[in-house]
Amino acid sequence: MQISDILKHDNEPLITYMEETRLSEEQMMKYGYLLYHGIRFDDINRFESILQTRKILCGSKVKDSFISYDGTIKELHLSSYDYENCNRGKYVSVASFEDDLEFYHFIRRNIFFAIKGSIKAYKTTYMPYEDFVELCKSKVEYKNLYSYAYNEYMVKDEISFDDILYIGIDPSCYARITDETISKVIELMKAYDIDIPFINVHTNEVLYCKNNNEEISNTLKRIMVL
């Protein structure tokens, strides 16, 4: 396929998730229109680095190591920004909820952050993987945001903890989620004084909430759609 054919949507304006839904911020919260960012359970160092900075940073801003709360140096595996990540290290990838295999793989079977749908998250244009690889190899400059994953949105630079509603897991989706895993997440949240609730979305159980705020927890349960 010609690059010109691949880039036939390149001049289309970027729209945000909020613009796409045509809902107000209040309506998005009421009806559970959230976005999600997943972290693999075998990448607990990356999860810890997010708690430490209180931001989900785009790849190019993430350092390859950091000093943990216990004084040890933790290494991070950083992805390349060629064909591996559509966000090119400049954006944070998030997904809207869909009951499909992509959401299951990238979000539901991981530790994930549930994020306000009203953040400035831009909708990507779907492109088959083979076309995306060809586009990257061509070195042609393009303006739009492309992804070979459906329902992917991108947030420029970082996501603040001010926009994160809860941290979630779903043990029903992944046998490797054990009591030890849950205890480690809680340990890290306590170490970094994180006041975002940690929720088992399969049972709607609040696993940890610093302030034990029942009102906040119940509000979150009402907006969860997983």
Give the SS3 label for residue 155. strand
CA distance 128 to 73: 39
For 105-110, which contacts have Cβ atoms below 8 Å and span 24 or more sequence positions? 106/38, 106/149, 107/36, 107/37, 107/38, 108/38, 108/170, 108/173, 108/226, 109/38, 109/170, 109/173, 109/174, 110/38, 110/39, 110/40, 110/41, 110/174
19 vs 123: CA distance, rounded Å:
10
pLDDT for the residue 80:
59
> In whole angstroms, what is the distance from residue 16 CA to residue 122 CA?
4
The least confident of 31-35, 110-114, 214-218 is 214-218
Number of domains in the chain: 1
Q: Which of 61-75, 104-118, 126-140, 181-195 has the lowest mean pLDDT?
A: 126-140
**39, HSE (Cβ side, Cα atoms, 13 Å):** 22
Full domain range(s) for residue 113: 3-223
Mean pLDDT, residues 55-84 taken together: 85
Q: Are 96 and 108 in contact (CB under 8 A)?
A: no
Mark residue 154 as left, alpha or beta (left: phi above 0; alpha: psi -120 to 50; beta: remaining). Answer: beta
Q: Which of 15-19, 26-30, 62-66, 173-177 shows the lowest per-residue confidence on average (mean pLDDT)?
A: 173-177
Pick from 191, 194, 177, 132: nearest CA to 6 = 132
What pLDDT, on the 0 to 100 scale, is given for residue 47?
95
